A and B are shown apart, each in its own frame.
Chain A
Amino acid sequence: MTAGHDGPPRPRRSRIAWIGFCAGCLTVVALGVAPYPAPSGGAPPCATDHELTIATSSDVSSGSFRRDVVDEWNRRAGTTMKAKLVEISDSTDEERAEMAAAAQSQDCAYDILILDVAWTAEFARNGHLRPLSPGSGPGVPFLEKALTTTEVDGVRYAVPFATNAPLLFRREGLPAPGTPGELLRLAAEHGYAGQLADYEGGTVNLLEMVLSGGAEVLDGDEVVLDRPDDAREAGEALAAWQAALSRRTGADALSLKEESSLQAFRSRQAGYLRNWPFAFHRLASDPAMRDGDGLRFAVGPLPGTGVLGGSNLAVTSRSPDAAEAERLIAFLTTPQTQKKLFACGGYPPVVESVYDDYRVRPRTCGELLAEGDPEAGRPDPDGEITAGQLRLFADAVRLAVRRAWPRPPAVHYSTFSEVFRSCARQVVDGALDAGELDFPRFSGALREALDGRRPEHDPCRRPTGR
């Protein structure tokens, strides 16, 4: 570098050098502090299309009764804005991905989301949901457990729509297990169908096995599975299930999902079925599972601890019709609508009074439909689920919900779920001995997963030394 007399004076060059140095240094440090590209903000506000669009999963398996209640909203007097369901997919993973992608791209596609309870925190914390105005909802008491899933950081973002808790179905003549230990024994003896395939349903079933075995997975937001007692109980529970399932149902037990497990129960491959409440309507309306007006199966809450499921209704943060959307949500959660969804569609109600009513005056789907539309209510004498059966079903669901454990309201719940399942499933599968499951390492991976980090190495086993 030459400093010819033609060049700029030295003090000025020195100043330029310092400015360049500082600018370079600060730029790199500033970019390093903000590693992610910020989401593209500043999208223009959405204009109303004078219609409320509700994003949801496919509704075919439940008789599509949600469409009927939306249709009822559209036809009722006083409705100023009609509603439309957009059914995304049968797959809950695809449903979540589509909703999240639409929200991230600041799309105006949806006004209301029917969210799985496990996703509400993620959508709320990412700013995709609008806090509900105080007093929204039908003004009736909800099930407390269901209501807890709608609040995130002390703010209510959603209203419960349908709750879910595991039920245990058993073929007629088989004893009802009172404890998880008894269930294990009977499962080994008569066959058991749960949902242990590699998907979210598998996580739920595995969590239930661990929790019912006496272990705690989380204490508040903290993973505590590496506490010695919890680790021991979790390992024993998973090992016991591995033994029970391998005795009777073999490798197929690990590939079952909701529908396939229901079919295994119907076809007598399993004497006991763990499933969600939707299965009651399917089985109770199946001629092969009926005996005249009676049922060839019994139902009750799953012994031990179940995992709470269900769905919430939430208004998207970009909806231009939020007030009208809240009115629709209030309609969908009135006791009358919830009763129809329960009796006709098999959706467990979220309103306390519906359960109370079913104890005193249970009513069938046909009776409820006939109230509003005599043409619609044509109960088929050959196969309708009776009022008494619905009362027993309602009691079982209520009890199951009271016992259920809510999944952690974490933004990265899906990562937590994948990591938990990856290890626990290996034990139940027999691919990993319970004694080899490294609980401190596993718990560390679960903590990282709650922050959204996936393990780079095997989270289940100790690294093999030389």
Chain B
Amino acid sequence: MSGDRQEPPASPPRTAGHRIREVFSSLLVAVVVERLAQWVFDGFGSVVASLPGGWFTAVMVLALPASLVYHRRLAALRARAAGWLSPVTGAVRTALSALRRRLPRRRGRGRAGPLGRALRTVRLWVAGGYRATALGMAAGLVVWGGHEGVLWLSGAYGPCDSPRELQVVTAPENVHALRGAAAEFTAGTAVHGCLPYRISVGAAPSIDEMIYGFENGWRRKDARQEEEPFVRLLGIRPDAWLATSSGEAAYVTQRVNAARVAFGGGFSVARDPLVLAMLGERFDDMERALGPADEGGHRFRTLADTARSSLQMRLIHPQPGLSSAGLVAAAELARLSGSGDVARGTVFDESVSALLCRFRDPGTAERETAALLVPAHSVHDYNTRSLTAEGCPGGAPSGRDALKAFSSPDLSVLDYPFHTVSWAGQHRPEAQRVLTEFGRWIGRRGLFPATSPAWSAPRSPQVRDAAALHDVRRRIERELPRVDLHLVLDASGSMSRPPAALLLRTREAFSAVRNTLVPADRLSLSRFYASGDGVEVTEPGPRAGRDDLDGLTQGIAAREPGGRDAPISAMLAEIPRHVSRSGATVAVITDGGVFDDEPDGRAVVRALARAERVRHLYVLVLGDGRCGGGPAGGGRRAGGKRVVCAEAGQDLEKGLSQMVSTIREWS
């Protein structure tokens, strides 16, 4: 080194152009590295995975040429590593020397001791063995490639094995997107066109049903009679669960015994904000009322206050007891802390999809006055596809029927954690591995279609945690008006006889009602039928609340005397003797045969006006029955009392939930 070392020339002053170039080249490098990493994980990864031996073979074979090409750098690296490790190797050498000094000396010993020679020999064997094995694997790949090529050219691949069945559940509004992702993921794993896995996606039940299901082998909570020879599952038994929010996931997993089900993963695979959606015209009205927005959009409180006070709109969401997104939405309304906010927002729909499907029906009365608090991707689904996958009839809405949505920087962003599920007694490590891979893959690919830039803008996560969700559930239970309901079953033969067996089906659908009740609600049950020239109304059983509903539910399909259809008006004349409290609403559950003798409903209205202690009347017609000319769906008045007839069709759960929800609104 010379002593008169010259100073390096001063670097030229950095201009703005230089800096832009630097930033640009840094960005370019970052993008290239990111793309390369993505390709290694996805494209190259899938090629490697299809090789015999997968990554092991790839690493073995690729390391050989890499070591030959880069042997100089590797040698330098080795020397550097030797330097770093010199304290350790020095200590080992010292220890070995000490050991050698204690051992008896042997004649003919060379410079290196026997241990050193043995190590050197082993090293050479390993090195030579590795090179030969790697070469052999490369040769094997050539043979295998040739074999595959011949098969491909001749089209002589044999039939595929049956794919391994894997099952995932998620909230109904996510099923369509997750099915698409599952199809794409499994297609990517195909070998010679054969799918090694088939991922079925089913709709997850409500939070409470899910907790019960995980605790009980995925069985539905049915209030069955003893000795009844059946159980019902909640659909496919999941190997994985895509929750809506980490709060929901924690709420469930904290309440499930780990000895029955073990949850793995829990990483977020998507992010989607709640938005406030409404019809386009109302959206324009609201924009005018709101004025210019702050950066990132209006605060949720501003949106809610404007919608309510300026546009007289109601902010609604699915039932928090049945829908996780509904529960998070309720938590958002609870945050506004106005008394009654939460209760006012709850509608009877059991899921976001059901709410949107109902909203799409032009006959829905509250379309103009409702703003929906739902995930952004559901609004996109509503506008872009017909929701037929969710069982919604008709085509995609267009024009004025389309929804527009406001996002807000302080509305929750749902984070969709992906959990694997291991059931006690089942050992499916491959399922867990593949599904974890699937979850990670969704995380990289995305689950939902791109929404508007405002929705996808980064924001601080505000997912409500399990404690917040628990609190909001309790708050809803306190705030919801109490239901005092006397159910009167049509006990005619057509209700209990196959093929409809409507009483049996009503009993089974009643599990959905449980999730819509709050602790203060009270229900009682009796039956009515024609007997001789009059009407027989049975003595009601004890009044039941949500937590002791099983007895009442079992009574619905109990083998009790029945007869022919009796007119509702005649029943109403008898019922006050059985209703112990004044102010109860009477709900008649029938297949519609009760209207045969009073088709126009006027007698029913007159009888209701006269019936003491009966506050309102709700007639629920099940199955293929019709209200006919009976009390109209829109409702009538009978001296200040309400009368409504609703047709449930084949969806008894929905019909019963809607009944409870309507009666709650009357309370």
Contacts and interface: CB of A to CB of B under 8 A. Distances in A.
Interface string A331-353: 00000000000001110000000
Interface in B140-191: 140-141, 143-144, 147-148, 157-167, 187, 190-191
Contacts, number: 277
A17 B562 CA distance: 89
Interface string B49-60: 001110001001
Contacts of A456: 193
A101 B237 contact: yes
B135 A344 contact: no
A61 B652 CA distance: 11
B533 interface: no
Interface stretch (B18-26, B78-86, B195-203, B368-376): B195-203
Interface stretch (B125-133, B258-266, B320-328, B572-580): B125-133
A27 B140 contact: yes
Contacts of A448: 193
A98 B128 contact: no
Given A40-B427, A89-B235, A380-B564, A24 B144 contact: no
A84 B117 CA distance: 72
A80 to B, nearest CB: 15
Contacts of B161: 36, 452
Contacts of B649: 263
Nearest to A455: B193
A155 interface: no
B613 to A, nearest CB: 31
Contacts of B144: 28-29, 32
Nearest to B592: A287
Contact of A7 (B121, B187, B235): B121
Interface in B426-440: 426-428, 430-431
A100 B236 CA distance: 11
Contacts of A412: 159-160, 162
Contacts of A71: 227-229
B618 to A, nearest CB: 21
Contact of B112 (A6, A86, A94, A379): A6
B494 A13 contact: no
A85 B500 contact: no
A189 B394 CA distance: 22
Contacts of B393: 252, 255, 260
Interface string A89-111: 10101100110111011010000
Given A21-B132, A101-B165, A380-B564, A251 B395 contact: yes
Interface residues of A, number: 98
Contacts of A26: 136, 140
A65 interface: yes
A63 interface: yes
A285 interface: yes
B125 A29 contact: no
Interface of A: 1, 4, 6-8, 13, 16-32, 35-37, 39-40, 58-65, 67, 70-71, 74, 82-89, 91, 93-94, 97-98, 100-102, 104-105, 107, 122, 126, 197, 251-252, 255, 259-260, 263, 266, 278, 281-282, 285-288, 344-346, 365-366, 375, 378-384, 411-412, 448, 450-454, 456
20 contacts: A6-B112, A16-B132, A20-B129, A23-B136, A28-B141, A31-B57, A60-B504, A61-B650, A93-B200, A102-B237, A252-B394, A285-B499, A287-B593, A345-B499, A375-B559, A378-B493, A383-B497, A412-B162, A453-B194, A456-B193
Interface of B: 51-53, 57, 60, 112, 117, 120-121, 124-125, 127-141, 143-144, 147-148, 157-167, 187, 190-196, 198, 200, 202, 227-233, 235-237, 239, 388, 393-395, 426-428, 430-431, 492-494, 497-501, 504-505, 508, 559, 562, 564-565, 592-593, 596, 624-626, 649-650
Q: Which 3 A-B pairs have the closest CB atoms?
A: A380-B493, A24-B136, A28-B140
